[in-house]
Structure 1
Amino acid sequence: MCLNSITKGALKPIKMPLTPAQVAQAVALIDQGLTQREVAIVLNAPRSSMQYSLKRYQETGRYTRRPGSGGVRCTSARDDRFIVMEILRNRYLTAVEIRQRLQIARGVNVSERTVRRRMEEVNLKARRPARGPELLRQHRVARLQFAREHVNWTHEQWARVLFTDECRIALRAPDGRERVWRKRGESFLPITTTQTVSFHGGSIMVWGGVSSDARTELVIVDNRLTATRYIEEVLQEHVIPYSGFIGHDQFLLMHDNARPHVAHCVEEYLEEVGIQKLQWPARSPDLNPIEHVWGMFKRKIKSSSKPPQTLNELRNAALAAWDSIPQVDVRNIIQSMPDRMQAVIRARGGNTRY
């Protein structure tokens, strides 16, 4: 091979260690009769790196580098265990707080980055905490008992239930999903700043109910929902007629433990009209599939081609969004009820990913 053909158009060598594949290629080219300088040009590698790699191959017979000693570790095994145990005892401690505790308890001074590396070594990473309602012992017991009683329910049994709930929609409420494209130093430009308004520009409350095969009409609740209004505007107008659709003897009403739902007059009315109620554990939004329907409902309002600017437009957009939710999506959500029961049992009555 002619050297002129090799050097023609050669790039400047990149100063970095040779990979095992490059070392193997270099050895093959040397066996073909090329000089080390010519091989360095072919591989676009520094000549010093080439000489070192070939010398190492002659000594060890391997293409890989010798194992290095690495940097001096500034913490001992006991220091590492102390860091990990402190984190496992309190998952909300910061790297700065752990560093301070390590310095006080063991007299070892390290950086916050060292603390983070020790946590990464045991697969501990800082993430946003999951959110869920506060569950006291009585709540966990009730949730666990409910899950055990209904874990073997079939999809046909869950199809008898009308899952209901209220939802409040604000005109300009942030959903935590918004992102803005900006450069460094553009944080407070008008085009990259979200301007807030008092009370999110106003809001409305709606009531709805869903089951596997159909759903009720959306009820827009003006002002505050009282027990009397709940009977007259929700139960009489929507729940009672819907019970005939499923079958009055098989129908089950699910509503949570909000004050208008558990008032004495409401309990007496349900008993009078013969509506069976599914006894629902308190603080269990993760068990109610309509919560996921509300998420779909809000996203449809937000993604509409013409977002509402007034409360009247918000009412119309809410009615349209409710009707546009595919029933097959609602059915798929309700069919997750057996999995929700299993999740509560695994969590011993605690919060679940639902």
Structure 2
Amino acid sequence: MVKSREWSRKTREEVITLHRKGNGYKKIAKMLNIPRETIGSIIRKFKAKGTVETLPGRGRKKMLTSTAVRYLKRRVEKSPRVTAEELRKDLSDVGTEVSAQTIRRTLRNEGLHARTPRRTPLLSPKNKKSRLQYAKSHVDKPQKFWDSFLWTDETKLELFGPMDQRYVWRRKNKAYEEKNTFPTVKHGGGSLMLWGCFASAGTMNSLQYQEILDDNVMQSVTNLRLGRRTASHCHPISPGTEEILDDNVMQSVTNLRLGRRWTFQQDNDPKHTSKSTRAWLQIKGWNILEWPSQSPDLNPIENLWWDLKKAVAVRKPKNVTELEAFAHDEWAKIPVDRCKTLVSSYASLLKAVITVKGCCTKY
């Protein structure tokens, strides 16, 4: 007969106390309003084990042995993409029949949970070597060195981008009720491209452009004043006005007080590494940081783009005009302390790259 309940420790101790005083099973059962069979079970257990505590080993036995659990842990540590069904078949081949759900539950109990993998750039051995070399050669630089950097990058903002997606609380079979759905629009419903720069002293105004840049128009597109429209704001600009880039960058350097020994950072996008762009930068005589390819995680401005996209999504722009206005507004609101923290923690980022031998980091 299966027990319907577990009596409290206090009650069991009271049974033993009454029994030691010479009371019989029937009398104790009547005094405590407990079935006589239960009284007998408590007393027999006390006589055999010397305790009224609940002993281990009760309940349903585990379906997987400790050896099987160790196998599952080794398997998923070595091959994280293996499925629960594949693991079930592996155990079945050696005579252990369990469900895939049992395997999932066992792994969760061991601290291993199924998660969506993070998306990272594809790194070749050459990329990893370059990243590792970059980290080792800069990890011991003083903070003053990083405070003189002008970090730059481009990003794309969509009107209905992924930052707008949220979880919903809903009941079963209610997935397609309008309140539980997320409407989508082709091509994100409109977008804009932003170029921005920052240093430990803060951000500068963002520059918008709406064209695909190539090495022939890279300098001319960045001719646009940061955050200011011109008549040619959304159209290709003829080359030959590189001095405006000089105005924008140098104005940022001055406003952010980077000093005379400042360094210009940009990634290895083809428009940045073309012969014409390199030649133009060489004429300017700027100190250019040698940047390892496939390394967005090494550029702290990526964290600011994330902050910007979250802030813009909260304001729910209804059209591209609002998207642009909110983007410039929120970029200007980024606290100086946020910028300073990103730059001051850069050495930790480089140490992380060294630890993982050039692979991608959480930064």
- Give the TM-score, by structure 2 length: 0.82
Which residue, 83, 87, 112 being the options, matches 1:94? Answer: 83
The whole-number CA distance in structure 2 between the counterparts of 1:292 and 1:125 is 27
Question: What corresponds to 2:262 in structure 1?
Answer: 251
Shift in CA distance, 76/299, structure 1 to aligned 2, threshold 3 Å: closer
The whole-number CA distance in structure 1 between the counterparts of 2:359 and 2:32 is 64
The whole-number CA distance in structure 1 between the counterparts of 2:292 and 2:186 is 34
Provide Cα deviations, 1:223-272, integer angstroms capped at 9, x if missing partner: 22233443234333421322344356311111111111111111111111
Question: What corresponds to 2:54 in structure 1?
Answer: 65
Question: What corresponds to 2:248 in structure 1?
Answer: 238
- 1:291 and 2:302 aligned: yes
- 1:196 and 2:184 aligned: yes
Alignment of 1:256-335 (within 5 A): 256-304=267-315, 307-335=316-344
Aligned pair count? 335
- 1:147 and 2:135 aligned: yes
Contact kept, 8 Å, 1:287 with 1:340, in 2: the verdict is yes
The whole-number CA distance in structure 2 between the counterparts of 1:49 and 1:198 is 70
3-state SS of paired residue (2:150): strand
Shift in CA distance, 214/51, structure 1 to aligned 2, threshold 3 Å: same
Quick one: which amino acid aligns to residue 253 of structure 2? S
Quick one: which amino acid aligns to residue 110 of structure 1? V
Shift in CA distance, 59/137, structure 1 to aligned 2, threshold 3 Å: same
- 1:36 and 2:28 aligned: yes
- 1:208 and 2:208 aligned: no
The whole-number CA distance in structure 2 between the counterparts of 1:203 and 1:39 is 79
Question: What corresponds to 2:357 in structure 1?
Answer: 348
Contact kept, 8 Å, 2:84 with 2:100, in 1: the verdict is yes
The whole-number CA distance in structure 1 between the counterparts of 2:32 and 2:58 is 28
The whole-number CA distance in structure 1 between the counterparts of 2:36 and 2:246 is 89
* Residue range with higher mean Cα deviation, 89-98 or 14-23: 14-23
Contact kept, 8 Å, 2:267 with 2:293, in 1: the verdict is yes
The whole-number CA distance in structure 2 between the counterparts of 1:17 and 1:30 is 19
Quick one: which amino acid aligns to residue 16 of structure 1? R
3-state SS of paired residue (1:322): helix
- Give the TM-score, by structure 1 length: 0.84
The whole-number CA distance in structure 1 between the counterparts of 2:142 and 2:215 is 33
Q: Which runs of 5+ in 2 are unaligned?
A: 223-244
Structure 1 residue 78, shift from structure 2 partner: 5.5
The whole-number CA distance in structure 1 between the counterparts of 2:297 and 2:90 is 37
Which residue, 165, 169, 179 being the options, matches 2:167? Answer: 179
Shift in CA distance, 213/96, structure 1 to aligned 2, threshold 3 Å: same
Structure 1 residue 177, shift from structure 2 partner: 5.1
Contact kept, 8 Å, 1:254 with 1:278, in 2: the verdict is yes
The whole-number CA distance in structure 2 between the counterparts of 1:294 and 1:47 is 72
The whole-number CA distance in structure 1 between the counterparts of 2:117 and 2:14 is 50
The whole-number CA distance in structure 1 between the counterparts of 2:342 and 2:166 is 25
3-state SS of paired residue (2:134): helix
Contact kept, 8 Å, 2:147 with 2:258, in 1: the verdict is no
Q: Which runs of 5+ in 1 are unaligned?
A: 1-13
The whole-number CA distance in structure 2 between the counterparts of 1:25 and 1:240 is 86
Shift in CA distance, 292/247, structure 1 to aligned 2, threshold 3 Å: closer
Structure 1 residue 125, shift from structure 2 partner: 2.8
Quick one: which amino acid aligns to residue 125 of structure 1? H
The whole-number CA distance in structure 2 between the counterparts of 1:176 and 1:22 is 57
Question: What corresponds to 1:5 in structure 2?
Answer: none
Structure 1 residue 196, shift from structure 2 partner: 1.0
The whole-number CA distance in structure 2 between the counterparts of 1:101 and 1:204 is 50
**Which 4+ residue blocks in structure 1 deviate beyond 4 angstroms?**
25-35, 38-41, 45-51, 69-82
Structure 1 residue 150, shift from structure 2 partner: 0.8
* Residue range with higher mean Cα deviation, 28-37 or 49-58: 28-37
Shift in CA distance, 129/176, structure 1 to aligned 2, threshold 3 Å: farther
Which residue, 188, 194, 214 being the options, matches 1:226? Answer: 214
Provide Cα deviations, 1:9-50, integer angstroms capped at 9, x if missing partner: xxxxx9422344553455467779996346645xxx776545
Task: Give the alignment's Cα RMSD to 1 decimal.
Answer: 2.8
3-state SS of paired residue (1:223): coil
Which residue, 153, 162, 167 being the options, matches 2:155? Answer: 167
Contact kept, 8 Å, 2:163 with 2:310, in 1: the verdict is no
Provide Cα deviations, 1:38-95, integer angstroms capped at 9, x if missing partner: 6645xxx776545533432243221313333765555566655544443333211111
* Aligned-pair identity (%): 26
- 1:338 and 2:347 aligned: yes
